[in-house]
Amino acid sequence: MMKGLGGIGDMARMMKAAKDMQERMQQMQADLDKLTVTGESGAGLVRATATAKGELTGLEIDPSIFQPSEKEVVEDLILAAVKDAQRRAQDRMQSEMARITQELGLPGDMKLPF
């Protein structure tokens, strides 16, 4: 196809592959805004929902835990649920990144710039 051009043909393929990878990464970043994860604590009494990027989008608290004497317990449960949602978001993002790098034929442990 580009016979006689030697390295130029290889460079063109590499540039196209880089452009394809950039487009896939941009799409993945947009998709991570739409994917949600839910963290919970207190056997589900408190649930925190976040995007796969870690942005907290919702918090559900079972009304049965609203006892004035249990204020500190409720605060701990909320914090634990938020941390669980953030951990799950991080796991989901890493999973999506690994899937994309594998689809692009890159090493699975390659660290991408986001």
The domains found in the chain, sorted by start residue, are: 10-32+39-103 (3.30.1310.10)
| Secondary-structure percent of the chain, ordered helix, strand, coil, rounded to 5 | 60, 15, 25
Mean pLDDT for each 10-residue chunk of the chain (114 residues)? 60 81 84 90 93 90 90 91 93 86 72 57
Q: Residue 1: what pLDDT?
A: 47
Q: Are 102 and 108 in contact (CB under 8 A)?
A: yes
DSSP code string of 72-98:
HHHHHHHHHHHHHHHHHHHHHHHHHHH
Q: Is the pTM of this model over 0.75?
A: no
Residue 107: Cβ-neighbour burial (10 angstroms; 0-12, 13-18, 19+): exposed
Q: Residue 58: what pLDDT?
A: 92
